[in-house]
Each structure stands twice: as structure tokens, then as C-alpha cells.
Amino acid sequence: MPAITPAHLYTFFAMIAVCSLLIFSFTAYANALRLTSERVQLKNLMNQLAAKCTELLTLASSANASAEAYLEMPVAIGEKQYWLQLRSISSKAWIEGGLGARHIEEAELQVCFPSEAEASGYYLSGYGSASLKCYLENGIPKILLSNNR
């Protein structure tokens, strides 16, 4: 009879180990799914912003006029804060963004504009809508992104 008790204890500890592994793997899988969906939402938001920027740049270039737009932005993506930034170099402009409250040097995601422009500005979620201002300066379209409080 004493040999049966250790066998039950070994089985019990083995079951605890297997259950712990299953719980940890399901938790990791759920976190991976959540992160993927948050990145998809951020990418969709950046595509919408890029479309509005392209619209304003086209309007400013074709009509030689200034344009301004305000976009309602979500307060957070999931439970995380996010940031968006407009950047440009001589022949290319783009939006970059990431999750978190802090801007990092290497952006998680980038969306390029189809037209040449000078782009600058920064938006941090949770501080109102996004403001886009577009105008021509010396024949070069410029677009600025900022928080509208």
C-alpha cells in the first residue's frame, strides 16, 4: 500500500506541470493575437491619415490654396497609447507611428505618401483630435501634423 501514494503524488505533480505549460502557452498566444490586432488598427489609422494628407496635398498643389482638416482620433488602441509623426526627406514624405507613449528612433510602422512634400509634426494619442495644415511655400507643398486641443 505505501507504493501507491508516491505514484499518486508523481501523477499530481505531472498534471500541475502540464497544466502550467498549457496556461502559459495560451496566455502567450492571446498576447500575440492582441499585439497583432493592435498593429493592424494602428496601420489602418495611419492609412486613413495618409489618405487625408494626400487629399490635402493634392488640393493645395492643384488649387494653390491652403487647406486644414481635423481628424477625430481614438484615445487609445486597445489599452495602449500611440504616436504618429510626419517626416520627409528631399524626395519622399511618410507617416510613421508606434504603440506606447514614447517616440522611439526606429518606427514600428511607416506609410509613404504618393506625392512629394515637406512633412513634419507629431501627434500623441489622448490629447484631442489631429490637426492637419497644408499650404504651398515656394511651389513646394508643406503639411503639418499637430494635436488639436
What is the rounded distance in angstroms from the CA atom of residue 89 to the CA atom of residue 106? 16
Q: What is the pLDDT of residues 112-129, one digit of tens each?
A: 887 778 899 999 888 788
Residue 95 is which amino acid? I
Structural element, H or E, at residue 121: strand 118-124
Geometric angle at alpha carbon 108, from 105 and 114, rounded to 5° = 100
Q: What is the pTM of this model?
A: 0.77
Q: What b/e readout covers 84-114, taking b as 16+ CB neighbours within 10 angstroms?
A: bbbbbeeeebbbbbbbeeeeeeebebebebe
How many domains does the chain fold into?
A: 1
Geometric angle at alpha carbon 147, from 146 and 148, rounded to 5° = 115
Q: What is the pLDDT of residues 21-61, one digit of tens each?
A: 999 999 999 888 888 888 899 999 999 999 999 889 888 88
Segments forming the whole domain that contains residue 130: 4-148
Mean pLDDT (the chain) is: 86
The reported pLDDT for the residue numbered 1 is: 46
DSSP 81: -
Per the model's pLDDT, the better-predicted residue between 18 and 111 turns out to be 18
What is the rounded distance in angstroms from the CA atom of residue 84 to the CA atom of residue 12? 51
Check whether 95 has a pLDDT greater than 80: yes
